[in-house]
């Protein structure tokens, strides 16, 4: 049994002499040029997008920098106010220390004076007893 084969299709791009012809060099270059132009357009589009993203990122960073600088300035002003307050407190502490030293010195002087007066009082009491004993004995 013989199997029948289908008809063979005619060759593509048949030239005038009946033989197949390869595409022309310009046709081959047109395809490559078209691909290159497409790639170039895509690269250009990507470059524009990257540039836009960089600009957006730079704008966000500039805004954030401004926010941080404002916070830093506020903190610095607060620190300066606190330093001025600390200087005033330090002056008050020194004044109080000086006053405490003067009060302590005055307290010691009073204690010394009291000790002297007690000693004089004890001597007077002793003389008074002697005088009282003399008067009662006479």
State the 10-residue block means of pLDDT for the chain, 138 residues long: 66 78 77 85 95 97 98 98 98 98 98 97 95 89
pTM of the model: 0.47
The pLDDT value given to residue 131: 92
Estimate the share of the chain in helix, then strand, then coil, as percent rounded to the nearest 5.
Answer: 80, 0, 15
Rounded CA-CA distance 12/107 in Å is 127
pLDDT of residue 50: 97
pLDDT for position 120:
96
Contact between 11 and 18 (Cβ < 8 Å): no
């Amino acid at each position: 049994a013989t199997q029948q084969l289908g008809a063979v299709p005619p060759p593509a791009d048949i030239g005038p002499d009946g033989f197949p012809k390869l595409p022309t060099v310009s046709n081959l270059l047109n395809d490559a040029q078209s691909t290159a132009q497409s790639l170039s357009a895509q690269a250009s589009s990507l470059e524009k997008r990257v540039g836009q993203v960089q600009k957006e990122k730079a704008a966000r960073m500039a805004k954030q920098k401004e926010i941080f600088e404002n916070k830093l300035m506020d903190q610095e002003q607060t620190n300066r106010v606190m330093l001025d307050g600390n200087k005033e407190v330090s002056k008050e502490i020194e004044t109080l220390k000086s006053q405490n030293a003067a009060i302590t010195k005055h307290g010691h002087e009073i204690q010394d004076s009291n000790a002297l007066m007690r000693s004089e009082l004890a001597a007077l009491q002793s003389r008074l007893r002697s005088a009282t004993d003399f008067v009662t004995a006479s």
